[in-house]
A = this chain, B = another copy of it.
Amino acid sequence: MRSRAAERTLPPADEHAARFARQREADRSATAEDYVELIADLLREEGEARAVDLARRMGVSQATVTATIGRLQRDGLVETKPYRGLFLTAAGQEMAAIAKARHELVVRFLIAIGLDAETAEEDAEGLEHHASEKALAAFARFLAMREDDAG
């Protein structure tokens, strides 16, 4: 039951602004997380990470990959030499591990609430970058609780 028509939608302005700022921050780190996660997967499963494969899997041109890799190098996440394969720095490996764990948690959660595996993967790709630690904890609790029930 609400009061009258349309009360209480707008939070205090500064709080509101903080939400959007966090949002923009998450958007900024999303690309880096997607790239290092993909590079880690390629290294693990294919033994090497080549720009051409990143381009194919990201659905983006090779030139775009080159530019993005340049930023990731600048930010200390990726190591490479001109015309050679890609590797992760320690920081990059750590980011990839966190991203992967988070990705899998989100996928498992989405499947638990009734999504099919493919849709869960698709949605996780977007949702994983915008779930706070508290939300992820809630997902984990939900999964744990559900396992208890299943016995």
Chain A residues within 8 Å of B, Cβ to Cβ: 2-3, 6-7, 9-11, 13, 16-23, 26-27, 34, 41-42, 44-45, 53, 56-60, 110, 113-116, 119, 121-123, 125-127, 129-132, 134-135, 138-139, 141-142
Contacts and interface: CB of A to CB of B under 8 A. Distances in A.
A123 B131 contact: yes
A10 B126 contact: no
Given A6-B44, A44-B6, A59-B18, A122 B113 contact: no
B135 A123 contact: yes
A116 B135 CA distance: 10
Contacts of A58: 16-17, 20
Given A10-B45, A13-B57, A110-B135, 4 more contacts: A2-B45, A6-B44, A17-B60, A127-B130
Contact of A21 (B20, B44, B59, B115): B59
